[in-house]
Amino acid sequence: MLELFFTRTATIVLSAVLFYPIFCHLCAETVRAIERLNYFHNPKVRSYCLSFKKYHTFEYTTGNKNIIFMYHIIFYLFCVLVISLAVITIYTKNLVRAVFTFFLTLFAISGLYVFSLADFVAITQIVIYVGGVLVLFLFGLMLSDKKLLDMNSLQKTTIRLGNLRPFVGLVIAVSFLCLLVFMWFELDMNSITWMHTNPIANAKQHEVSNIGIALMTKFLIPFEVIAVFLLMALIGASHLMRKEVDVD
Amino acid sequence: MLIDIQCYLIVSSILFSIGIYAFLTKRNVVMMLIGIEFMINAAIINFVAFSKYDSNNEGQIMAIFIIIMAAAGVAVALAIILNLYKHYKTIDPNQVHELGEK
């Protein structure tokens, strides 16, 4: 009981610490969004934005304060959803629950892809992960024994080198996170020249048809190689899963 | 007005460190696999976030390739896990010492 309490408290404190930067960013972004509203009431800017109306630019064309606010709110909701569902996945004791929460995480991640103007990747994520990998995971679990689903029966082994204590793993993970976040903040985005293009200006480039054209021209060889690779993986998986038959 | 790239990067690095935690501490091969999937998804988020500024969409195509690779990897890994369970009657990686017959 006490252990459960400590685990839950640790989860809450950890998620609060993790969400704090995002919360600060949310506040700053909201203020900035409200500040920039005047800019979009300028008729010249409005007509420029209207020419790219088709793709994800509803927030530029309207200039409506509520819609911009909602756009950001939904994005940060997806961010919080991704992280909290990932934490729940790690802390769940039941394996089937963990797998289902994992797929909810993948759904939330596909929401992030939509916000990043990548519709096709979002749909691919949903179709392949949830259509393919979820079924694989569940079949894998259902075909196996009942003991596999009970994670508590697996926790009684002695600790060896490959398997760290939760605290040590947490320290390593958090230090890696600090390193990454520090690096992202240190990185000067202005020094990357190809990122100076305006995402609104090349909104037309994000059409699905452009991905198809690129796959059939520039990326034709990787495309074919990955097709052969997929066939290899399929044959390999079914070979591994075969029934043992005595030939002799 | 669009969301800054820093936000995507922070979310993906949090997801990556959650994956590292799961991979290092879990005593269940399926949970370790889920940790690896989290790390792969963090990488895909970075690809897609940077491709927003790219006029050639190359990041999105790479993301699609990575998703396909991850799916193939999961198929093979789950087959291996089921075989492992058949042989050893456990999916605790600590109790698996040999590759061949017991």
Q: What is the pLDDT of residues A163-219, one digit of tens each?
A: 667 788 888 889 989 898 888 888 777 777 777 666 655 556 667 788 888 888 989
Q: Please, which pLDDT band fits residue A20 given cuts at 50, 70 and 90?
A: low
Those residues whose C-beta lies under 8 Å from the C-beta of residue A192, and which sit 6 or more positions away, are none
Domains observed in chain A: 2-145 (1.20.120)
Which run of H or of E encompasses A124? Answer: helix A119-124
Report if residue B40 sits inside a domain.
yes
Query: How confident is the model over A54-72, as a mean pLDDT?
Result: 57
pLDDT of residue B38: 94
Contact A164 B24 (CB under 8 A): yes
The total domain count for chain B is: 1
Residue range A107-141, pLDDT digits in tens = 999 989 988 888 889 988 888 887 888 888 887 77
Question: Residue A142, CB half-sphere, CA atoms under 13 Å: how many?
Answer: 6
Q: Tell me if A193 sits within 8 A of B33, measured CB to CB.
A: no
Nearest to A174 by CA among B17, B24, B8: B17
Greatest pairwise CA separation for chain B in angstroms? 61
CATH of the domain at B47: 1.10.287.3510
Residue B85: pLDDT over 50: yes
Contacts of B31 in chain A (CB under 8 A): 90, 95, 98, 151
Q: Show residues of chain B in contact with A236, CB under 8 Å.
A: 76, 79
Mind giving me the DSSP string for A180-198? HHHHHHHS-GGG-GGGGS-
Rounded distance, CA B41 to CA B63, Å?
9
User: Which of B10, B102, B27, B81 has the alpha carbon at shortest distance from A82?
Assistant: B10
Chain B closest CA to A195's CA: distance in Å? 5
* CA distance, residue A57 to nearest chain B CA (Å): 9
Domain-embedded: residue B86: yes
Contacts 24+ apart (CB under 8 A), A82-86: A82/A108, A82/A109, A82/A112, A82/B11, A82/B15, A83/A15, A83/A18, A83/A19, A83/B11, A83/B14, A83/B15, A83/B18, A84/A15, A86/B14, A86/B15, A86/B18, A86/B38
For residue B41, which of B25, B17, B77 has the smallest C-alpha distance?
B17
With beta carbons less than 8 A apart as the criterion, state whether B68 and A230 touch.
Answer: yes
Contact B3 A72 (CB under 8 A): yes
Digit-coded pLDDT (tens) for A213-243: 888 898 999 999 999 999 999 898 888 877 7
Instruction: Tell me the pLDDT of chain B averaged across its residues.
Output: 84
Domain ranges, residue B81: 5-95
Q: Which one of A137, A154, A173 has the shortest CB-CB distance to B17?
A: A173
B88 found inside a domain? yes
Closest approach of chain A CAs to the CA of B57, in angstroms?
7
- pLDDT tens across B35-44, in order? 999 999 999 9
* Residues 16-75 in B contacting A (C-alpha not used; CB under 8 Å): 16-18, 20-22, 24-28, 30-31, 34-35, 37-38, 41, 44-45, 48-58, 60-61, 63-65, 67-75
The predicted pLDDT at position A146 comes to: 63
Tell me whether residues B34 and A197 touch, CB distance under 8 A: no
Q: What are phi and psi of A42, to 5 degrees?
A: -65, 125
CA of B99 to nearest chain A CA: how many angstroms apart? 14
Of B5, B14, B28, the CB nearest to A83: B14
CB spacing of A240 vs B65 below 8 angstroms = no
Contact A100, A146 (CB under 8 A): no
Residue matched to tokens 């509203």:
A37
User: Domain for residue B101, yes or no?
Assistant: no
B102 falls within a domain: no
Asked if A141 and A99 count as a contact pair (C-beta separation under 8 A), the reply is yes
Give the whole-number percent of chain A exceeding pLDDT 70: 58
